[in-house]
């Protein structure tokens, strides 16, 4: 960990007591800052006691602008999920109090080089694939994965050395709050239209994603999906060396597929069918990871070993188990239409789909062709169930069941499926109408499938 004095004796408010907020508070105390932490809800007594022992003052009050009157803050470190139109944040901006995020501070103390990964879909899978490859055939150091994947960046940047590597999964919420974060290699996996309730416009969302490369220079690398013209154009905004990856072999200057084989430039790396996880999207994810690995000098044998044993990421087209000839997959992370499209296109067999969730004002016409091509039957619950049912009817899906909750959905999916079918949870919606997180939703699906089948999740 680098010893920096940027925060010494500064009065800093950490807003939000999730994992990133608690770890940001601890890191800032190590950097000799004066730290206050505030959350919309009271902290658990043990967490509060632990923070107060190291000198963090916990403010048990609503996130109100009044807090700014009671203290003289030099900086606010906010949870990435807190909107910028939050009343306290708006008042802080008005008072010219700088606002940042935990991953920014964590990156400033890192001795290890950073690989940053972003994208609307697949960034967790890409980050995990890269990390697995970097840890294959390694003789010194270790690769760590952190960030939006659920591990606060500060927990790894404080212990990593110059012999290690850090792979950071970076959400748009994180990136909009950075100023100095400088990945040596940055990955843009794709960009769709997500989180417009947060960013307000697609332009703002795209610009947030592109901040991953804004501090890079000609000594760095920007790995970009070239299978979309917009993303190719976005790559021109980077000062770094652009390294493309392409499933459609749009460019052969990086990682690409030709005749069911994967190449990096002119060098054969591995066969497509050696990638363990199914679907075109996972081949694209693997191409991004391969491009990073080759830049970092990893051997083809390390790449092949990691990707041929990679079993996927929990809640992301995750294989759960097989029972009576039916295969069950958990894709609870599919919180948007594009992710569900990708999941459906991963399977050639008949799919019995479970979908539905929070109504964000979207309509689902884009799913009509995928329903027609892949969905044998569908069971729907949540706020968007009726909208999705209309799309399924237009697509010609004959067997449509509307239910109230996940248990009923799993029961109906079992009844509508038969040997050889895929039962897939891929909601196409956020989980917040009935669940706190998509992880909670996926875990309940797995538990109910285990109960229904009498089998345990297969790892």
Binding-site residues from annotation for ATP: 119-125
Four-residue CA torsion sign, 365, 368, 369, 370: positive
Closest Cα to residue 277, out of 415, 166, 122? Answer: 122
Helix (H, G, I), strand (E, B) or coil at 326: strand
Nearest residue to 428 (alpha-carbon basis) of 393, 378, 394: 378
Helix axes 123-135, 280-295, angle to 10 degrees: 40
Distance, in Å, from the CA atom of 342 to the CA atom of 231, rounded to the nearest integer, reads 18
| Contact indicator for 15, 96 with CB cutoff of 8 Å | no
Q: Which residues are annotated as a binding site?
A: 119-125
Chain centroid to Cα 82, Å, comes to: 17
The candidate with the shortest Cα–Cα distance to 177, out of 116, 99, 115, is 99
Inter-CA distances, 71 with 59, 352, 450, Å: 11, 56, 52
Give CA angle at 361 (357, 366), nearest 5°: 80
Distance from C-alpha of 89 to C-alpha of 86, rounded to nearest angstrom: 5
Look up residue 331 and give its two tokens.
């894709």
Q: What angle do CA 422, 425, 427 make, to 5 degrees?
A: 135
Q: Within 13 A of 378's CA, how many CA atoms are on the CB side?
A: 29
The two counts, helices (H) then strands (E), for the chain are: 18, 20
Helices (H), 376-457: 385-394, 406-416, 438-453
**Coil, strand, or helix at residue 296?**
coil
Whether 289 contacts 126, CB under 8 Å: yes
Asked if 269 and 305 touch (Cβ cutoff 8 Å), the reply is no
φ, ψ of residue 242 to 5 degrees: the values are: -85, 125
């Amino acid at each position: 960990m680098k010893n920096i004095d940027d925060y010494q004796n500064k009065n800093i408010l950490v807003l939000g007591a999730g994992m990133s907020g608690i770890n940001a508070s601890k890191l800032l105390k190590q950097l000799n800052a004066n730290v206050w932490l505030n959350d919309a809800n009271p902290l658990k007594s043990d967490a509060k006691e632990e923070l107060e022992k190291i000198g963090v003052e916990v403010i048990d009050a609503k996130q109100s602008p009044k807090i700014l009157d009671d203290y003289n803050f030099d900086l606010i470190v906010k949870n990435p999920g807190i909107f910028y139109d939050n009343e306290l944040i708006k008042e802080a901006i008005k008072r010219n109090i700088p606002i940042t995020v935990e991953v920014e501070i964590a990156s400033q103390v890192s001795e290890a080089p950073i690989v940053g990964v972003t994208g609307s879909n697949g960034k967790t899978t890409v980050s995990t694939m890269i990390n697995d490859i970097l840890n294959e055939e390694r003789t010194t150091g270790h690769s760590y994965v952190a960030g939006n994947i659920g591990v606060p960046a500060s927990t790894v940047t404080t212990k990593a050395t110059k012999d290690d590597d850090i792979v950071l999964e970076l959400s748009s919420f994180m990136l909009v709050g950075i100023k100095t974060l400088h990945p040596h290699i940055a990955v843009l996996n794709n960009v769709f239209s997500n989180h417009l309730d947060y960013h307000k416009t697609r332009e703002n969302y795209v610009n947030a994603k592109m901040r991953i490369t804004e501090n890079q220079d000609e000594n760095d690398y920007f790995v970009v999906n070239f299978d979309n013209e917009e993303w190719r154009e976005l790559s021109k905004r980077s000062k770094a060396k652009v390294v493309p990856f392409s499933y459609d072999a749009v460019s052969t200057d990086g990682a690409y597929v030709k005749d069911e084989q994967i190449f990096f430039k002119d060098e054969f790396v591995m066969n497509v069918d050696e990638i363990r996880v199914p679907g075109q999207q996972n081949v694209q994810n693997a191409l991004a990871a391969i491009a990073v690995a080759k830049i970092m000098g990893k051997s083809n044998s390390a790449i092949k070993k990691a990707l041929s044993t990679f079993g996927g990421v929990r809640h992301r087209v995750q294989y759960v188990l097989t029972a009576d000839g039916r295969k069950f997959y958990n894709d609870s992370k599919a919180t948007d239409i594009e992710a569900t499209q990708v999941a459906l296109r991963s399977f050639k067999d008949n799919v019995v789909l479970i979908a539905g969730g929070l109504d964000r004002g979207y309509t689902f016409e884009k799913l009509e062709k995928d329903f027609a091509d892949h969905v044998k039957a569908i069971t729907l619950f949540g706020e968007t169930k009726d909208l999705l049912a209309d799309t399924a009817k237009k697509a010609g899906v004959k067997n449509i069941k509307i239910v109230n909750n996940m248990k009923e959905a799993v029961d109906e999916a079992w009844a509508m499926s038969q040997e050889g079918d895929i039962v897939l949870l891929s909601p196409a919606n956020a989980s917040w109408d009935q669940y706190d997180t998509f992880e909670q939703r996926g875990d309940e699906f797995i538990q109910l499938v285990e109960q229904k089948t009498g089998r345990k999740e297969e790892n």
